[in-house]
Amino acid sequence: MIAVRDLAKRYATKQGGTGVAAVSGVSFTVAKGEFFTLLGPSGCGKSTTLQCIAGLETPDAGEIELDGTVVFCSRRRLLVPANRRNIGMTFQSYAIWPHMTVFDNVAFPLVHGERGSRGIDVRQRVMQTLDLVKLADYADRPSPHLSGGQQQRVALARALVHEPGLLLLDEPLSNLDAKLRDAMRVELRLLVKSLGITTVFVTHDQLEALSMSDQIALMRAGTVVQQGSPADVYLRPVTAFAADFMGRSNLIPGKVGQGTNGTAVQVETSFGVLRCAPAKSVTAGAQVYVVVRPQAIILRSGPDSAANVFQARIDRLHFLGDAFEAEVRIGDAELRIMLDVYFQPALGQTLWLELPVERCAVVQRREDDPGAVAAAPT
């Protein structure tokens, strides 16, 4: 179990002043055995958070609890050093010793680490761990003679060799090519799940986060903006940033209409009223976005009695192999939709589109939203 409470960390800058706020009030809890992901764009504070948990950085404020033991508390001035935290960690840059064999790299924490190897048969433990990551046959190989995927496994084996209670993984798949990354996503999750080890995984890749995690904390500028299961975060984004970061979304600016109540939300947009899924705390008159994913929009053969059916014109078409992505115009709004490859769409063609009510989510509009500048006032 990991509990992080109100974590804050600033880095000093050469210029002096108050420095850079890398993490500003981050809180989350990771249940025992859970695969938990910190997801967010580069620079949002993921690695800093991970290093504070590992004890490699000292936070300015907050509290960190690992398996029932408080290892950091700013209020009580408590700090347990990294080597007494029972954590295995891999770094963004693998950090493998190039002059050593695979075996020696993995044995390193046992032979040289401060935790030592008392009572451990080093050879047996290293070989067991190499077996786990399918590298037993590579034990004697010099590290430079390894592929990217094999290096990644060496780093993982080295993190696991102490049989730690918690595993921290900083962008472990980011340096791999696309095909290998796909395969390793599945393999890595299976491995840590089979070990039952509580894992915090860091990535900027939403697909990795969605496909591997039990829980995702989406971060932006040093804060957690949304936490939930992959389906939750993907299907029910609470901000425009979350909608935009978790895969493509159409963000349609509008104003919440008077007819809105607990069960029906109506939003006035530039091309008409959209009925939307019920949303917490939306009040009539609020400036919002209707968020609807390209693949959520349904092709209709004509106008019909369903809600939210509009006529659209195809402005641009992109062939993606397994689908067409089309940019369509409804009134003066531009939307992205996905079309079946076997449907033969043509530029300028008119279509009838349904934006299904339950797939239209409403989020508040904020000044720092992506695309906020382009949003026409309504």
Ligand X SMILES: Nc1ncnc2c1ncn2[C@@H]1O[C@H](COP(=O)(O)OP(=O)(O)O)[C@@H](O)[C@H]1O
* Residues in touch with ligand X (CB under 6 A): 11, 20, 22, 40, 42-48
Q: Which is nearer to ligand X, 13 or 147 (CB)?
A: 13
Strand partners, 316: 327
Q: How far is the CB of 26 from ligand X (least distance, A)?
A: 11
DSSP state of 270: T
Which one of Mg ion, ligand X, none interacts with residue 48, CB within 5 to 8 A by kind? ligand X
Q: Which is nearer to ligand X, 222 or 237 (CB)?
A: 222
Q: How far is the CB of 259 from ligand X (least distance, A)?
A: 42
Q: Which of 7, 23, 36, 47 binds Mg ion (CB under 5 A)?
A: 47
What does the block give as tokens for 170?
Answer: 């900083």
Q: How far is the CB of 193 from ligand X (least distance, A)?
A: 24
Q: How far is the CB of 174 from ligand X (least distance, A)?
A: 11
Closest residue to Mg ion, judged by C-beta, is 47
Q: How far is the CB of 63 from ligand X (least distance, A)?
A: 19
Q: How far is the CB of 106 from ligand X (least distance, A)?
A: 25
Which one of Mg ion, ligand X, none interacts with residue 43, CB within 5 to 8 A by kind? ligand X
Collapsing DSSP to helix, strand or coil, 86 comes out as coil
Which one of Mg ion, ligand X, none interacts with residue 129, CB within 5 to 8 A by kind? none
Number of residues that bind Mg ion (CB under 5 A): 1
The verdict on 215 binding Mg ion (CB under 5 A) reads no
Which one of ligand X, Mg ion, none interacts with residue 88, CB within 5 to 8 A by kind? none
If you search the block for the tokens 């002096």, which residue do you land on?
Answer: 16
Q: Which is nearer to Mg ion, 47 or 129 (CB)?
A: 47
Q: Which is nearer to ligand X, 159 or 256 (CB)?
A: 159
Q: Which is nearer to ligand X, 17 or 377 (CB)?
A: 17
Q: Which is nearer to ligand X, 51 or 150 (CB)?
A: 51
User: How far is CA 111 from each of CA 85, 115, 171, rounded to the nearest angstrom?
Assistant: 18, 9, 26
Q: Which is nearer to ligand X, 42 or 124 (CB)?
A: 42
For the range 51-55, what are the long-range contacts, defined as Cβ-Cβ under 8 Å and sequence gap of 24 or more?
52/4, 52/7, 52/9, 52/23, 53/2, 53/4, 53/87, 53/166, 53/168, 53/200, 54/82, 54/85, 54/87, 54/89, 54/168, 55/79, 55/80, 55/81, 55/82, 55/83, 55/85, 55/87
If you search the block for the tokens 């590290």, which residue do you land on?
Answer: 143
Q: Which is nearer to ligand X, 43 or 370 (CB)?
A: 43
Q: How far is the CB of 370 from ligand X (least distance, A)?
A: 17
Q: Check: CB of residue 25 under 8 Å from CB of residue 6.
A: yes
Q: Which residues contact 115 (CB under 8 A, 6 or more apart)?
A: 83, 109, 162
For the range 275-279, what are the long-range contacts, defined as Cβ-Cβ under 8 Å and sequence gap of 24 or more?
275/307, 275/308, 275/357, 275/360, 276/357, 276/360, 276/361, 276/362, 277/357, 277/358, 277/359, 277/360, 277/361, 277/362, 279/361, 279/362, 279/363
Which one of Mg ion, ligand X, none interacts with residue 109, CB within 5 to 8 A by kind? none
Q: Check: CB of residue 214 under 8 Å from CB of residue 36.
A: yes
The piece of 25-33, 43-51, 105-113, 361-369 that touches Mg ion (CB under 5 A) is 43-51
Q: How far is the CB of 38 from ligand X (least distance, A)?
A: 8
Residues that bind Mg ion (CB under 5 A): 47
